[in-house]
Amino acid sequence: MPSITVRKLYQENHQKLNLSWVTGTAGADNVIGIDEQRPTLALVGHLNFIHPNRVQVLGLAEVDYLERLEQSAARTALDQLFHKSMSVVVVANGQPVSKLLRDYCHTRNVPLMTTPLESPYLMDVLRIYLARALAVSTVLHGVFLDVLEIGVLIMGDSAMGKSELALDLISRGHGMVADDAVELYRIGPEMLEGRCPPLLRDFLEVRGLGILNIRTIFGETAVRPRKVLKLIIHLVKANDQAMQALDRLNIQSETQDILGVTVRKVVLPVAAGRNLAVLVEAAVRNYILQLRGIDSTREFIERHTNFLREQEHAADTD
């Protein structure tokens, strides 16, 4: 199952959350992970002695509670707390850290951090971060683009012209997320987020031109760090078999299942003289219209049906 270390959580959030590492550096490699019994949203929470969270947060009420306990009662409570599985303790609201809590974190190798931020905001940010960092993922071959604010994954066999099509779309003002290897993360029940592996970020391979740095050539606005996948464009060779298999009216929308999420899919035949960039833009615009309840195919069929009914009615009256 996906997991991250406390060290990584700190490195990627210490500036945003103004985190200070107080003690417990020996536990930097403590793992924060999920399982079937512990969903992502249950990883972060206020101080809980019965069912400790992987990230224990102490706000105003929790710090006040510990301070009111007698020394022996406080030690008993902390013994119970640190006996459970716990990765890191964060004291929020700029509250002072008691020497007792500091000693427990140091001796038990549990990182102790502080932040001046309020605990509800801290937990919201960490939950969103962990939902992304611990999401179930897969890697697909293709090019992932931002076309008209819609995440579009272009797929197809090798040498189908996916990179050339992507370059054409980028030159028309659209953005690239990833080329060749697209990392897809299920960040919600019905949501897939596409990202680029760090090693391939900004690069696009085009046969005959080699490796191109899209950010350097087209500027910062030509690259996106991530995008939610909404539409798949699958390129196929325009042979007789492929053309006969196509539903010309596209009455039944095609879909593809990725990590349990159903994604709309459009099959585009590739042939000489076809402007694929224009076709992709048109497919995206049509998808946007369908989201708004405007279906051109249904409108055409209804118009055709009404025409036939009028012809039949006219024949009966004659």
List active site positions.
Answer: 141, 162, 180, 248
For residue 107, give the 3-state DSSP assignment: helix
Q: Which two tokens stand for residue 245?
A: 């298999």
CA distances from 72 to 67, 81, 288, 292 (A): 12, 14, 64, 64
Q: Which residues neighbour 220 within 8 Å (Cβ) at sequence distance 6 or greater?
A: none
Residue 157 to residue 304: CA distance in whole angstroms: 37
Residue type, 310: E
Q: Could you count the other beta carbons within 10 Å of the beta carbon of residue 187?
A: 19
What's the farthest any 2 CA atoms get from each other in the chain? 102
- The CA dihedral of 135, 140, 142, 145, to the nearest 10 degrees, is -10
Q: Which two tokens stand for residue 119?
A: 């605990």
